[in-house]
Amino acid sequence: MSAAAVRVSPAWLELREPADAAARSAALAERLARHLGGAGRLVIHDLGGGSGAMGRWLAPRLPGPQHWVVHDRDADLLELAVAEPPAATADGAAITVEARRSDIARLAPRDLAGAGLVTASAPPPRRWPSSSGAWAPDRSSTACARSTAGRWRPRPRSAR
């Protein structure tokens, strides 16, 4: 079995979720909330989203109605992402979660059509979508990710 095909267990993700939550950047989330505020229903694609920990942490920090599309290749983890959705948005607006079984290394721009925000945390190294077009399919979208070194920042497409 290659390293890229090693399965991530639900128990391991559960164990690390509190530590990951403590390590995520609240300042980055606040900046995002300001940037996206009042934009209407936000469609968020979480790449390699596993059991949905990113949504449980970020959704309560963003205002307005949100639809999360969690991409992962592991069907069991995706089931958990849907079974344990984020508790709430920042202002009590509606929130929905959709699981999408996909190989994030092979996403095409159409797979992210309509996305207002693309997130990823602790993604598999060297397995990012190869096309930058896949990251930001329309002018209003924002890519937001955290590297393990915490170096990445929101990049509105208009600022590139």
Contact footprint for ligand SAM (CB under 6 A): 8, 13, 20, 48-50, 53-54, 72-74, 77, 103-105, 121-122, 124, 127
Return d(Cα 154, Cα 118) in angstroms, integer. Answer: 10
Phi, psi of 55 (to 5 degrees): -65, -40
Between 3 and 159, whose beta carbon lies closer to ligand SAM? 3
State in angstroms the smallest separation of the CB of 151 from ligand SAM.
Answer: 16
Minimum distance from CB of 139 to ligand SAM (Å)? 26
Provide the minimum distance between the beta carbon of 46 and ligand SAM in the complex, in angstroms, as a whole number.
7
What SS3 state is found at 91? coil
Residue number with CB closer to ligand SAM (93 or 105)? 105
What is d(CA 45, CA 132) in angstroms, rounded to the nearest whole number? 15
